[in-house]
Structure 1
Amino acid sequence: MRNLDETDLEILSLLAENARLPYSEIGDTVGLSGPAVSDRVKRLQEAGVINNFTIDISRSQLRAGVPVFIQLEIPASAHETVRERLRNADGVEHVFVTSEGELWFYARVEAQNVRMWIDSLLDDIEIQDYSVTLVDELEWTPAIDGVEFALTCAECSNTVDNEGETTRIDGEIYHFCCPSCLARFEERYQRLEEGV
């Protein structure tokens, strides 16, 4: 797998602005043909750089309730359970985990029922404390400009450059910085499969 070049980054930037932009229009902008853009997008998908194409919905037009930002203080042992519950909860749009291990999330809920909603959502979780902040405005602007992209090695987390290797294992694509990392990963993966 070679490094992402300027054309790849420009294609990603255009798709971040409008995921429905025709490949021919992207090609006109970046100086490639539509099929060449299609090939690059397919390669970016196979490399796991593009996960899916989506739309930007104005949720304030569709969902009742007020926007709130909630910060939870919970035991570290409950994080994964709470994250899973938040991912599946109606009204929750974004979940964040800070570097300090705190769990924050953005949701739209009925103003008079915020406390009851949190209590019912996390009824069996020991909540040490939480705060609710009413959100006045929200702007979500995914962009790739000014960000340096690099694939990371699945084994050692180093940057994968043009000397790296990419392989598919059980349908998942993994990137490695060198053949030895690939070999170590495959060996460990095989041992885990045999132990199951």
Structure 2
Amino acid sequence: MRDLDDTDLNILRLLLEDASRTYSDIAELVGVSPPTVSDRIDRLRSMGIIRRFTIDVDTDKLADGVAVLAEVDLCPTVDDEVLDRFAGLEAVDHAYLTADSRVVLKANVPRGEVRDLLADAVELDLVENYEVSLLSADRWEPQVADPDAPEGTEQPVVR
């Protein structure tokens, strides 16, 4: 896994639990100095492993509408920026592009306005088909796995 050691993996796990942790807090938990944590985080950022620090907001509680999972089949000729356009829509929480030009979205939209959401991102004549499912719940919890651990093994933070 890209030359990461246990300290790197533990720093990542701690940041996934709470990205607002201080370097001092992380250092104490993983047994290194705060400057070491700073250096490690800078290296993880330069490697592209840490892309940004953010918060996890339940947008379904902020918006009027319904949570949906939309799967959109697009023409193979659709441009490469289509994912960015979908991801940039205010109603979209998560957007994924598959190798076969399918976009999968988790969004919160007013009832009956999925076509309007699609039209905000792409010409509708590029949409070959789409399916929409109402979501009753969702959960997003990224994990950092130890590359040497057996598959399916939980990876706790070493403290």
- TM interval, short-chain normalised: 0.7 to 0.9
Q: Is the 8 A contact 1:72 1:103 kept in 2?
A: yes
* Alignment gaps of 5+ in structure 2: 149-159
Q: State the aligned residue count.
A: 147
Question: Are the structure 2 counterparts of residues 59 and 131 from structure 1 closer, same or farther at C-alpha, using a change threshold of 3 Å?
Answer: same
Give the whole-Å Cα distance in 2 for the aligned partners of 1:77 and 1:84: 16
Larger relative helix fraction: 1
Question: Are the structure 2 counterparts of residues 101 and 119 from structure 1 closer, same or farther at C-alpha, using a change threshold of 3 Å?
Answer: closer
Give the whole-Å Cα distance in 1 for the aligned partners of 2:95 and 2:29: 35
Q: Is the 8 A contact 1:67 1:134 kept in 2?
A: yes
Partner AA of 2:126 in structure 1: E
1:84-95 alignment runs, 5 A limit: 84-95=84-95
Give the whole-Å Cα distance in 1 for the aligned partners of 2:53 and 2:131: 34
State the secondary structure of the residue aligned to 1:78.
coil
Q: Is the 8 A contact 2:76 2:100 kept in 1?
A: no
Question: Are the structure 2 counterparts of residues 124 and 14 from structure 1 closer, same or farther at C-alpha, using a change threshold of 3 Å?
Answer: same
Residue of structure 2 in register with 1:163 after alignment: none
Residue of structure 2 in register with 1:22 after alignment: 22
Percent of aligned pairs with the same residue?
A: 33
Q: What is the RMSD computed on CA atoms of the aligned residues?
A: 2.1
1:144-159 alignment runs, 5 A limit: 144-146=144-146
State the secondary structure of the residue aligned to 1:80.
coil
Give the superposition deviation at 1:121. 4.4
Bigger RCO of structures 1 and 2 (CA < 8 A, at least 6 apart): 2
Asked if 1:74 is matched to 2:74, the reply is yes
State the secondary structure of the residue aligned to 1:21.
coil
Give the whole-Å Cα distance in 2 for the aligned partners of 1:34 and 1:135: 42
Q: Is the 8 A contact 2:68 2:133 kept in 1?
A: yes
* Alignment gaps of 5+ in structure 1: 149-196
1:94-113 alignment runs, 5 A limit: 94-113=94-113
Q: TM-score of the superposition, structure 2-length normalised?
A: 0.80
Residue of structure 2 in register with 1:52 after alignment: 52
Give the superposition deviation at 1:32. 0.8
State the secondary structure of the residue aligned to 2:106.
strand
Partner AA of 1:15 in structure 2: L
Give the superposition deviation at 1:80. 2.4
Asked if 1:136 is matched to 2:136, the reply is yes
Q: Is the 8 A contact 2:70 2:131 kept in 1?
A: yes
Larger radius of gyration: 1
Give the whole-Å Cα distance in 2 for the aligned partners of 1:39 and 1:108: 39
Give the superposition deviation at 1:90. 2.1
Q: Is the 8 A contact 1:78 1:125 kept in 2?
A: no
Question: Are the structure 2 counterparts of residues 132 and 32 from structure 1 closer, same or farther at C-alpha, using a change threshold of 3 Å?
Answer: same
Partner AA of 2:57 in structure 1: I
